């Protein structure tokens, strides 16, 4: 490949500088870094339009060559009188000669140009974040990654709504049916975390949008017609934060029993607790752990991790999860409760590790609180909607619940000033961070990017590892995958772009509009029957793609 400096110098020579009608920008890019002689070259071209020539890892924007005045005009060899000085009286002839000289420099390294416009990479958008540094190395060769940093779909740019094939998201944005209807090309959503109650997964499976029934384009190999795929696959990342969430849960449990937070506050307030009476007053409510009964609602990944951590402290661990197969309690050495009421009545501390859905909203309410032991502790690192905070605040004030530790809340971001817990005693609140560690954050983002990659290069939903609405998707008549043959390795994808409101990524003059990504239809995958999951303890069995939530993010 020709040296970048030679290419830049040759290009500079063919760009006339006198009497320019409009600015013309030249960008030489290789490996994600500008290498055009260490600078971006600014020149002015005499032509009103431009055309694009793609050269291995290099994109040039060139003014179109001048038309020959006669068919028999000689080409390829510059006249002997040519000099490298300023443009003389024959700028069009010099332009033509310099253009041909550049062609000779690039000979052998320019890829063949197929019929029709070159296919663009599929667009993948991070909806509610701005850091794509972890995702880019995994997706850069198969997709263009944009970030929106939005809190609602109203803040997402139209380009993303119209063209995004995949979406990555945290827990700070909600996608209802009305929100999902705004996306015209979306095929897969990956929740960076395990909880997916902020996505309407059933509507996603039903809302597959046509990618333009009459729009098609040609690749160098064959025409690809955009079909009407049905359904948007929704995936989660359930395993990356299991340890962090379980560790945080146990920290909250120990904190409630040993009252570390309140003892710290007393010290900050100047209470020295030097006498036995003062110690008894400050540390009142601290309880011995050995022999206490810990009740776990939902024995999924995190629930099991909490149980294994609690046993060495001396807890008697019981759990309620009616949809786990028989024998799980024996393999873990736990005691299984037949009903939710039994667990509430026999537990000294209750911790929640179940998913949030329409059936178990406010699972802990005034009625269930009255079934608990007097002076029970409550811990929630799952989902805020599982607990009625008004009922909890009243129970804390009345002493029916001795203390509570909440990492998740009904309204997030949480504020004591605006919530019902502002006057409640003996409550510890943290800002939905039980899932977080540097390692867990990176792992979850890597796993999410890999899931997007599997969706782009494979069959949906068969290629996906954690598709939570697969049962709904299999009801559709057709399934498709993004054809990897349509991905061109030269265009886009070398960096992450942000589309702020009112601004679209600037396209180069003369570049064709990126076409809609082609979809190749496939037959329906074989139906796999999984064990039923519980939407809510005590409720009838209904179709639910995933029962357990790792309470991360």
Whole-number Å distance between alpha carbons of 121 and 312: 52
Q: What number of other Cβ atoms are within 10 A of residue 84's Cβ?
A: 7
Structure tokens at 426: 């003996």
Residue 273 DSSP code: -
Q: Is 253 helix (H, G, I), strand (E, B) or coil?
A: helix
> Looking at the chain, how many residues does it have?
553
Do 179 and 204 contact (CB within 8 A), yes or no? no
Residue 199 DSSP code: B
Query: Of 46, 47, 39, which is closest to residue 17 (Cα–Cα)?
Result: 46
Q: Is 80 helix (H, G, I), strand (E, B) or coil?
A: coil
Whole-number Å distance between alpha carbons of 438 and 412: 22
Do 328 and 543 contact (CB within 8 A), yes or no? no
Residue matched to tokens 């960008």: 27
Q: Is 209 helix (H, G, I), strand (E, B) or coil?
A: coil
Cα torsion angle, 129, 132, 133, 137, sign: positive
Structure tokens at 368: 């269930």
DSSP per-residue string spanning 355-385:
---TTSTTSBSHHHHHTSPTTEEEEE-S-GG
Pairing of strands 427-429, 401-406: parallel
Strand partners, 124: 145, 166
DSSP per-residue string spanning 433-494:
-TT--HHHHHHHHHHHHHHHHHHHHS-TTTT-SSBTTHHHHTTSS-EEEE-GGG--TTSS-S
Residue 95 CB-density burial (10 A; 0-12 exposed, 13-18 middle, 19+ buried): buried
Residue numbers annotated as active site: 383, 412, 432
Whole-number Å distance between alpha carbons of 485 and 211: 18
Whole-number Å distance between alpha carbons of 127 and 28: 30
């Amino acid at each position: 490949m020709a040296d970048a400096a030679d290419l830049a110098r040759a290009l500079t020579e063919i760009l006339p500088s006198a009497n320019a009608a409009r600015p013309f920008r030249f960008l030489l890019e290789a490996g994600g870094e500008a290498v055009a002689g260490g600078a971006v070259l600014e020149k002015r071209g005499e032509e009103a339009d431009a055309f694009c020539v793609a050269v291995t890892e290099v994109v040039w924007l060139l003014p179109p060559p001048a038309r020959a005045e006669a068919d028999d005009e000689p080409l390829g060899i510059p006249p002997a009188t040519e000099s490298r000085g300023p443009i003389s009286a024959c700028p069009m002839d010099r332009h033509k000669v310099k253009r041909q000289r550049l062609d000779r420099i690039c000979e052998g390294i320019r890829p063949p140009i197929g019929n029709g416009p070159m296919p663009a990479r599929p667009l993948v958008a991070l909806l509610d974040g701005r850091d794509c540094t972890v995702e880019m190395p995994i997706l850069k060769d198969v997709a263009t990654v944009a970030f929106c940093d939005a809190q609602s779909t109203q803040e997402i740019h139209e380009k993303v709504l119209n063209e995004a094939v995949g979406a990555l998201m945290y827990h700070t944005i909600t996608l209802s049916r009305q929100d999902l209807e705004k996306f015209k090309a979306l095929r897969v959503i990956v929740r960076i975390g395990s909880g997916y109650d902020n996505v309407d997964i059933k509507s996603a499976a039903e809302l597959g949008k046509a990618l333009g029934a009459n729009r098609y384009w040609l690749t160098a190999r064959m025409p690809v017609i955009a079909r009407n795929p049905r359904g948007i696959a929704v995936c989660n990342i359930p395993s990356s934060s299991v340890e962090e969430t379980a560790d945080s849960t146990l920290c909250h449990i120990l904190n409630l029993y040993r009252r570390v937070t309140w003892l710290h506050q007393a010290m900050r307030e100047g209470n020295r607790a030097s006498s036995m009476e003062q110690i008894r007053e400050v540390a009142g409510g601290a309880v011995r752990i050995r022999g206490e009964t810990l009740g776990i609602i939902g024995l999924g990944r995190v629930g099991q991790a909490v149980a294994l951590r609690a046993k060495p402290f001396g807890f008697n661990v019981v759990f309620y999860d009616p949809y786990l197969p028989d024998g799980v309690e024996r393999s873990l050495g736990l005691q299984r409760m037949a009903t939710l009421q039994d667990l509430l009545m026999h537990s000294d501390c209750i911790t929640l590790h179940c998913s949030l859905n329409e059936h178990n909203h406010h699972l802990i309410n005034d009625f269930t609180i009255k079934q608990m032991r007097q002076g029970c502790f409550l811990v929630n690192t799952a989902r805020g909607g599982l607990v009625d905070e008004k009922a909890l605040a009243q129970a804390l004030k009345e002493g029916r619940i001795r203390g509570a530790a909440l990492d998740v809340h009904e309204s997030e971001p949480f504020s004591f000033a605006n919530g019902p817990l502002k006057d409640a005693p003996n409550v510890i609140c943290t800002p939905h961070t039980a899932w977080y560690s540097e390692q867990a954050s990176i792992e979850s983002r890597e796993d999410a990017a890999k899931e997007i990659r599997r969706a782009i290069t494979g069959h949906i939903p068969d290629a996906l590892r954690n598709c939570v609405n697969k049962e709904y998707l299999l009801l559709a008549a057709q399934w498709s995958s993004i054809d990897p043959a349509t991905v061109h390795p030269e265009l886009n994808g070398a960096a992450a772009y942000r589309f702020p409101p009112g601004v679209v990524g600037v396209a180069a003059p003369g570049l064709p509009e990126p076409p809609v990504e082609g979809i190749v239809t496939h037959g329906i995958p074989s139906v796999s029957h999984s064990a039923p999951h519980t939407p809510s303890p005590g409720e009838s069995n209904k179709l639910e793609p995933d029962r357990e939530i790792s309470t991360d993010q």
